[in-house]
Amino acid sequence: MIGKSIEKKPSLYVGKDEETLRDQILLFLETRYDSVSATGETFNRSGRTDILLRYSDDNSNLFVAECKFWHGASEFLKAITQLFSRYLTWRDSKVAIIIFVKNKQFSDVLSKIRSTVKSHQCYVRSNGERGESSFSYIFNLPKDQNKEVFLEIIIFHYDKDE
């Protein structure tokens, strides 16, 4: 995926803002699916989400995501709350938080994410891992604890000085 390219060629991406990195991901996503539009800063429910994949035929959402730079555990939890309380409708079931990490001790950040995510009020259970830096969880909606949502936390590391 594009995230691994960011890690392999950090000099192309260091200094870029969240929107620029998001746009790189959107370029990749646009080519992956037929009959699906990939848009950024798209209105959904009560705000503009960073990434929205929407079926062209019926206008339903396939995927909703937020991109963030890592700024610690409390900001990470706020990002999850932002996604779940502002951008998701009852019909949204596949979502992600994409985190860009500049910290030198990347393994420490991964550990912090694994331990912190369980403290979120919508956390239900772990749903496995997809590699070393992509973690799957089951969450529920804040206003409907019976509605399960699949949350993927995808973390990318880059630092041009390494």
pLDDT digits (tens, 9 = 90+) for 102-131: 888 999 999 999 999 999 999 999 999 988
- 100 lies in some domain: yes
Does the structure show a pLDDT above 90 at 135?
yes
134 vs 101: CA distance, rounded Å: 13
Number of domains in the chain: 1
Cβ–Cβ < 8 Å for 94, 62 = yes
What confidence score (pLDDT) does residue 162 get? 45
Record the tokens describing residue 99, joined without a space.
């985190």
Query: What's the domain range around 137?
Result: 2-157
156 vs 99: CA distance, rounded Å: 6
Record the tokens describing residue 96, joined without a space.
């992600």
Chain length of the chain: 162
- 162 lies in some domain: no
- 153 lies in some domain: yes
Band (154; pLDDT cuts 50, 70, 90): very high
Distances (CA, A) of 75 to 79, 80, 97: 6, 9, 12
Does the structure show a pLDDT above 70 at 29?
yes
Question: Mean pLDDT for the chain?
Answer: 90
Which amino acid is residue 80, in one-letter code? I
Cβ–Cβ < 8 Å for 63, 96 = yes
Share of the chain above pLDDT 70, in %: 96
pLDDT single digits (tens) 137-151: 999 999 999 999 999
Distances (CA, A) of 61 to 38, 83, 156: 10, 14, 25
